[in-house]
Amino acid sequence: MTTTDVEPQLSYSGCNHPELWILRSEEAFSHPRATLSIEWLKHFRELALGPLDTLFEIAAQYGNRDKLNEIIDERCAEFMAEWPYMTENEYIEQKRIFWFLRAWYFLENTPETYWDWLKADKDTVLLLYERSGRMGHGDHPYWPKLTSSKIEAILDAFIDKWPKVYLPSSWGTSSPKGENAYRFLTKVIWSIDSDDPDDAIPVLDRLLADPRFADLHKDLKSIHAGQLRKKALRDFEPPTPDEIVNLLDRDTVVTVEGLRQLVIQELQDFQKDIDGGEFNTADRFYEKNERLNEVRSTEIIAERLNLRLEPQGISVTPEHQLKSAKRSDFTATKMIGGKRRLLVTEVKGQWHDELYTAASIQLHDRYSIHPDAEQQGIYLTIWFGGDEKVAGRKIHGIGSAQELKNRIEASLPAELTGLIDVFVLDVSRVK
């Protein structure tokens, strides 16, 4: 059989079973398969839905993607020009949905008009399930994966139209529509996990802030944490052999994480001097028997760290200027392999009203997003004792620096675990 035998079948709109199998399976068609599938899809416009779907799948698998996208764009535009409103012709409407659905997947910037048509019918989610459900995507691996923004649009459009239902552990094509639809909406969010963090994280933030998706929060938080880790490690470059030697033989810092560990160690040593040193170090945090404020206390800590770390090529800068006129209380900076590494630190006195939120709102959201910081930082709290206010409250039930540390760590979002260290410096006079 040759192309001259198949083309007459394709030109007849009433032919529901043209012998397209030869294009997909016959060895003789392996070379022209890519070109022919695109040519036939472009030329034969009146194909029945069955052969149209078969030909499209061949073109999607083997054909030129740019040319295929041009065909999708052209067909969708024709439908909007010739039938701008819903018709009573079932064949036209099925064809319209056929092309609009493919536009949603294949076109990077799908016109909003096409999506408006698709989301108007709640059953569209079942078409999406066929393509992007756990079982469906394996049958169409050459279809583009849904982006984070498109998954957000799907959830926004359909979460209220398909209410929560019990999902049994076994399912299949014979499962009720309500189960398949809700299962798709709860599982499609995992596709966000494979997207770029810069695209995924803003979408996840919006979904987590929307009460409609409360039942999905556990999975969304898990994906969010993974994306934050991915972003933190994206620009990571493994240490060179020389840097590894320096790390092992001379304890030299070669990563932001190493810088973070070193600063924590220095803070622990500072705490030891405060607790058992000979120079009454804690007295530096008081003047005329009154505690110092955050700014003065931060200066003392930054000065100590700078004196200790400067010999290792690490500079500590109080009130470091960051992007958008924001300031970190102090930063530790080191040049590693010709690239600057930056550790951001936020300091709060125990009395501060934002004590339990500053780690995530200020330190993470504003400061540690600096590209040199790799999403990492230290949240340092100064403890003056149980008689002082905690988070603006005189009655607080916290009696030690360790209790305060535990309370702050419990308030941290799970996605910050491993990225932000909490350290409470105890300068109280009664211990």
In whole angstroms, what is the distance from residue 297 CA to residue 286 CA? 9
What pLDDT score was predicted for residue 245? 46
Q: Where are the domains of the chain?
A: 121-234, 241-426
Query: Pick from 233, 236, 256, 258: which is nearest to 247 by CA?
Result: 258
What pLDDT score was predicted for residue 28? 57
What pLDDT score was predicted for residue 249? 45
Question: In the chain, which stretches have pLDDT less than 70?
Answer: 1-19, 21-22, 24-31, 134-139, 169-174, 232-254, 319-328, 336-337, 364-374, 415, 431
290-291 and 327-336 as β-strands: parallel, antiparallel, unpaired?
unpaired
297 contacts 349 by C-beta, under 8 angstroms: yes
What pLDDT score was predicted for residue 236? 54
> Secondary structure of the chain: what % helix, strand, coil (to 5)?
55, 10, 30
Global pTM value = 0.58
What pLDDT score was predicted for residue 320? 43
What pLDDT score was predicted for residue 247? 44
Query: Pick from 5, 11, 85: which is nearest to 47 by CA?
Result: 11
What pLDDT score was predicted for residue 357? 85
**pLDDT (tens digit per residue) in 288-309:** 989 999 989 999 999 999 999 9
